[in-house]
Structure 1
Amino acid sequence: MDAKQNCPYCDFRDDPEQHVVFENDTCYFLQHDRHQGVLEGSGIIIPKIHRENTFELTREEWADTYELMQLAQSYLKEKHAPDGFTLGWNVGEASNQSILHSHFHIIPRYSDEPYAGKGLRHWIKKPENKRPQQKPE
């Protein structure tokens, strides 16, 4: 099956819980309804054209992602007053990319949340997440 078929980000308008907050020529900034179990204010930037992962984005899509990221930051600061942000892309199954349409997470973070202070560095520095030692050949 082609990855574009039934892609929830190609067909996001069919999902009443996804809302376009901003858009430009090549990308959208979407937010989920708060009832989906995501942190308040969380959203994603997706290219309008199906791109399986971030490495497939065009220069224009990169620039438009940057533009929407700046708009989203201002909007989220005003509307939700977060104490910080976690930003990022997952690429590939090992990175937990579950939807094969590039999407850039913008996650407002709050000092009173249970995982406050646990950003990307926290997870990559966990000793239990180290790869097993490879034997030299």
Structure 2
Amino acid sequence: MSESTCPFCTLPANRILRENVDGMVIDDGFPISPGHTLIIPRRHMGSFFDLSETERNSLLSLLEDAKWRLDKEFRPDGYNIGINDGSVAGQTVPHLHIHLIPRFHGDREDPRGGVRWIIPEKADYWSSR
């Protein structure tokens, strides 16, 4: 996917909630919870591991800002923070993006295991199921 066809490289300005020199924050277009947010670098790259130290620090600053906004607006009880790095990890848009997903008591019957549920048969390591 080229920059000219990348949905994150061609975002309309009205989608951007917050930004700095290296990145931007947007609402996820397909949220899995209220307030599901994406933190995206400006530079078109696929992997978190391709970020420079400056870019990484800038994105983490935006992540903190986004959390503060979600704390005020949605008052979640917790968060999942995730990156799908590579197509085998589930990345569908080949432009790095960090998911900040607010979690709420009762949004899942048993939330233990969190991100481990990407491979359901390995998620529950605490019981004898």
Report the TM-score when normalising by structure 1.
0.78
Q: Give the structure 1 partner of residue 19 of structure 2.
A: 23
**Aligned partners of 1:100, 1:58: CA distance in 2, in Å?**
18
Task: Give the 3-state SS of the residue equivalent to 1:105 in structure 2.
Answer: strand
Structure 1: where are the runs of 5+ without partners?
Answer: 129-137
Q: How does 1:71-110 map to 2 (within 5 A)?
A: 71-110=65-104
| Kept in 1: contact 2:116–2:122 (CA 8 A) | no
Q: Give the structure 2 partner of residue 65 of structure 1.
A: 59
Aligned to 2:121, which of 105, 126, 131?
A: 126
Q: How far did 1:38 drift?
A: 2.8
Structure 2: where are the runs of 5+ without partners?
Answer: 124-129
Report the TM-score when normalising by structure 2.
0.83
Task: Give the 3-state SS of the residue equivalent to 1:63 in structure 2.
Answer: helix
Q: How far did 1:112 drift?
A: 2.3
Residue by residue over 1:62-93, the C-alpha shift from the partner in whole angstroms, topping out at 9 and shown as x without a partner, is 00011111111111011000010000111111
Q: Which moved more, 1:107-116 or 1:73-82?
A: 107-116
Residue by residue over 1:89-121, the C-alpha shift from the partner in whole angstroms, topping out at 9 and shown as x without a partner, is 111111000000000000001112136615113
**Aligned partners of 2:88, 2:106: CA distance in 1, in Å?**
30
Aligned to 1:49, which of 33, 43, 48?
A: 43
Q: CA RMSD in A?
A: 2.2
| Kept in 1: contact 2:46–2:86 (CA 8 A) | no
Bigger Rg, structure 1 or 2: 1
In structure 1, give the amino acid aligned to 2:26: L
Task: Give the 3-state SS of the residue equivalent to 1:12 in structure 2.
Answer: coil
**Aligned partners of 1:37, 1:121: CA distance in 2, in Å?**
19
Aligned length: 122
Identity %: 26
